[in-house]
């Protein structure tokens, strides 16, 4: 720090200006990682993440973001559930002061999804239920910040929780969460994950033998996947419709 002060004196600038600039740079780095993840550009996100140095992490918020993204990338990109659980645990045990904290909810959800990956479904359900319940509480107390990041995190949590419930054969619960996510998206006119949500809705309706509704919602999901250029989802929808013996896409009466 003394060396830094001497350099600042020689350059005629304040030390606080350097620190603020560093904080701004770290903020932009985390923002870039978040954007890349939301666009499923996970390898690019990991490349950016690897440039963060531990010494840059000054605040609790910095540390929470660091351990969350580390855990997320370990789970989703590297398929390393144990490493993901460790990083999410670090966030939850060391840096969270309130359960009403979006990164705490995301880390709780991530822990549940990591246990799902390990096929420990009972543990997975406990963590996912906790994440959803805390999110409900935040909504009820009007705690949301009302920005796009918060909204997209809400939708992601509901969609991910619904995916788990579908996997452990609770389609009604899955549909309830999907409808919550769709309501959030529609109220805010957001396209975020809308294609995935309609595809999930259709798949759960197939399980419940609501074939016409499933067809209608597959149609919507397919159209949205084309709009968002989500080619992997387009392919998945086509495959699922063939698997479930649902007729090729036609104009639905009421999607």
The string over 197-221, giving b where at least 16 C-beta atoms fall within 10 Å of a residue's C-beta and e elsewhere, is: bbbbbbbbbbbeebeebbbbbbbbb
Q: 186 in a domain, yes or no?
A: no
Question: Which band of pLDDT confidence, cut at 50, 70 and 90, is reported for residue 51?
Answer: very high
Residue 189's contacts (CB-CB under 8 Å, 6 or more residues apart) are: none
More confident residue, 120 or 7: 120
Instruction: Give the whole-angstrom CA distance, residue 251 versus residue 215.
Output: 10
pTM of the model: 0.83
Q: 234 in a domain, yes or no?
A: no
Question: Which band of pLDDT confidence, cut at 50, 70 and 90, is reported for residue 9?
Answer: very low
Condensed to tens digits (0 to 9), the pLDDT of residues 21-36 reads 456 889 999 999 999 9
Radius of gyration of the chain (CA): 21
Q: 105 in a domain, yes or no?
A: yes
- Asked if pLDDT for residue 177 goes beyond 80, the answer is yes
- Asked if pLDDT for residue 16 goes beyond 60, the answer is no
Q: Region 152-163: what's the mean pLDDT?
A: 95
Q: 109 in a domain, yes or no?
A: yes
| Nearest residue to 115 (alpha-carbon basis) of 126, 99, 102, 103 | 126
- Asked if pLDDT for residue 182 goes beyond 50, the answer is yes
- Asked if pLDDT for residue 50 goes beyond 90, the answer is yes
Question: Which band of pLDDT confidence, cut at 50, 70 and 90, is reported for residue 18?
Answer: very low
Query: How far is CA 154 from its chain centroid?
Result: 8
Q: 204 in a domain, yes or no?
A: no
| CATH at residue 116 | 1.25.40
Question: Which band of pLDDT confidence, cut at 50, 70 and 90, is reported for residue 200?
Answer: very high
Q: 133 in a domain, yes or no?
A: yes
Q: 121 in a domain, yes or no?
A: yes
Does residue 192 contact residue 185 with C-beta atoms inside 8 Å? Answer: yes
State which residues form the domain around 97.
25-143
Neighbours of 72 (CB within 10 A): 26
Q: Region 212-233: what's the mean pLDDT?
A: 93
Lowest mean pLDDT among 19-28, 59-68, 115-124: 19-28
Residue 56's contacts (CB-CB under 8 Å, 6 or more residues apart) are: 22, 26, 62
End-to-end, the C-alpha distance of the chain in Å comes to 62
- Asked if pLDDT for residue 149 goes beyond 90, the answer is no
Q: 67 in a domain, yes or no?
A: yes
Does residue 93 contact residue 71 with C-beta atoms inside 8 Å? Answer: no
Q: How many domains does the chain have?
A: 1
Long-range Cβ pairs for the range 129-137 (8 Å, 24+): 129/161, 131/105, 131/106, 131/157, 131/161, 132/157, 132/158, 132/161, 132/177, 134/99, 134/100, 134/104, 134/105, 134/108, 135/105, 137/100
């Amino acid at each position: 720090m003394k060396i830094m002060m001497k350099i600042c004196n020689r350059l005629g600038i304040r030390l606080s200006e350097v620190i603020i600039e560093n904080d701004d740079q770290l903020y932009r780095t985390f923002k870039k990682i978040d954007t890349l993840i939301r666009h499923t550009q996970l390898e690019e996100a990991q490349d950016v993440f690897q440039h963060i140095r531990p010494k840059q992490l000054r605040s609790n918020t910095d540390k929470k973001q660091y351990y969350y993204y580390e855990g997320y990338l370990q789970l989703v990109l590297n398929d390393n559930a144990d490493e993901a659980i460790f990083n999410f645990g670090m966030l939850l045990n060391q840096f969270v002061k309130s359960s009403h904290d979006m990164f705490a909810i995301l880390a709780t959800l991530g822990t549940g999804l990591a246990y799902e990956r390990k096929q420990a479904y009972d543990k997975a359900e406990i963590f996912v239920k906790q994440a959803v319940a805390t999110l409900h509480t935040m909504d009820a107390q009007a705690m949301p910040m009302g920005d796009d990041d918060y909204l997209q995190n809400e939708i992601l949590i509901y969609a991910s929780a619904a995916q788990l419930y579908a996997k452990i054969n609770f389609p009604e619960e899955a549909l309830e969460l999907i409808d919550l996510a769709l309501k959030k998206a529609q109220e805010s006119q957001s396209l975020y994950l809308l294609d995935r949500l309609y595809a999930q809705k259709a798949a759960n309706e197939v399980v419940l033998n609501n074939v016409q509704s499933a067809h209608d919602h597959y149609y919507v999901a397919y159209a949205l996947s084309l709009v968002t250029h989500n080619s992997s989802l387009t392919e998945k929808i086509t495959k699922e419709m063939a698997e479930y013996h649902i007729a090729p896409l036609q104009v639905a009466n009421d999607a």
